[in-house]
Amino acid sequence: MKKIGLTLLTAFAGGAMALGVYKVIESKYSDNQSFEDKQKVYFTSNPSAPVSSTGDLDFTQAAAVATPAVVYIRTTYTAKSSGGGQDQLEQMFGDMFGQRSRPQQGPQMASGSGVIISPDGYIVTNNHVVEKADKITVATNDHRTFSAKVIGTDPNTDLALIKISADNLPIVKLGNSDDAKVGEWVLAVGNPFNLTSTVTAGIISAKGRNINIIGSENNEDENPFGRTRNQQTGPKLNKAIESFIQTDAAINPGNSGGALVNTRGELIGINAAIASHTGSYEGYGFAIPVNLAKKVLNDIKKFGTVKRGYVGVTFTELNPDNAQKLDITTTNGLYVNDLVPGGGAEQAGLRKGDIIVKVEGNPVYESSDLQERVGRLQPGDKINITVLRDGKNKDFAVTLKGEAVAPNRTAANSRSAEELFNKLGASFHALTPAEKNKLHVNSGVLVTQVREGGLFDAAEIPEGVVITSINKVPVSSIDDIDKAIVKPIQGNIIIAGLYPDGSHFSSAFPAQ
């Protein structure tokens, strides 16, 4: 009996040890997984009954699956940080980008929606929902409230990734927006007019819509994928990417950042805008395809910014009128106006006057047919482009080039960690041991994004800078920043680090 007891005890101990090792390994590698891979693990561990999609138009199951993971986002802006690009967009399209009160003095408020995509608190929303916000509050469907911090934003797709400190949260399963079809029933879930957890139904009325809304407040740039203007300084690129899913599900102010799901409850889009003369629903809403969002969000989580590749062309979208102006007979495709010197298209052999007719073997009719495909790829990836030249189709494998690094600039408490973190207006990526050795530092985070209106922007601290300490506390991760930032020195946040050229700097900001 003693032997049996000893054997059982050994077996239990071995099992416990194995489980403990598994948990350590699971924790170690989970941060390196994409959101889609993390969801596979989540749904494997938490199986649920399949949601059926029938012709009976019963949306109750899909609504029940999606609604718990859609959150209400409330943002606070100081008078100084409010306005800017978001106000210009609101003037053009009404208040469809969120609900904002406009008192004459004091802080301003706005609201929108978000979608939980990871059980540990990562939430996707629109960039315009959280842009320049000093404080972000998230209310979950079960009426819990959290402060959120901005992990990173991508104004070029109007997406943002924020995070709350919570575990075991309900999530929406990421679907495949490529499989979505015109005429398919969809549900929009969000918080219009402060009415939380609202579900509306409609159909997909179009795909690949480009409505020229992202970046429209700054029309001095050119679009690397779409329409261009002639400028004597050469081709200048506007990096906005639009390939919206259009739906007639009712979307109103406050729906921004909410979920567009199919009848299986799978996330296929992030609601972003409406076509309206009044600022409220008049017939059509537009959602960012989830397949594009996956790449953007994974990049932000992994690198702190989006690693985007560029074809290196500017072109005109062909139609009968444009073809007549260009004196060509082809009325479909993208007419190459210019090439970026040293860009991927030029190196691959494309020329001015070529007409892009296919990408990866798929016909190209408008800019979004190329736009979204390229937006999912990284610098260094290859994309197959077919052009019409001298009446014949020619195939080219174009290696996408990354964005040039911005030139170096010279640097001239009662708030929560999330508020102070958001006030910095920056995103960060932890240095690897090899990078620390190269820079001869023992700590450090790389600044991967500087957002307009934040403290880093005001102090002209550029992307590419390494922050080695905050308030004289060494920082090597986001958690380190959270701990250090709430310990101001004589009412100031003191940031120290290295410029890309190796020179040291130190800047102080008021903590309030």
Annotated catalytic residues are 128, 158, 256
- Tokens, residue 308: 């985007």
Q: How far does CA 230 lie from the centroid of its chain?
A: 30
Secondary structure tally for the chain: helices H, strands E? 13, 25
Q: Rounded to the nearest 10 degrees, how much is the dihedral formed by the CA atoms of 437, 438, 444, 450?
A: -160
CB atoms within 10 A of CB 398: 25
CA distance 249 to 306: 30
Contact of 203 with 268, CB cutoff 8 Å: no
CA distance 325 to 331: 11
Spell out the residues 6+ positions from residue 480 whose beta carbon is closer than 8 angstroms to its own: 443, 445, 470, 473, 474
Contact of 126 with 159, CB cutoff 8 Å: yes
CA distance 59 to 186: 9
Report which of 135, 145, 130 is spatially closest to residue 97, judged by C-alpha positions.
130
Strands (E), 324-454: 334-339, 355-359, 362-363, 382-389, 392-399, 426-430, 445-450
**Residues paired with residue 474 on neighbouring β-strands, in sequence order:** 469
| Phi-psi region at 407: left, alpha or beta (left = phi > 0; alpha = psi -120 to 50) | beta
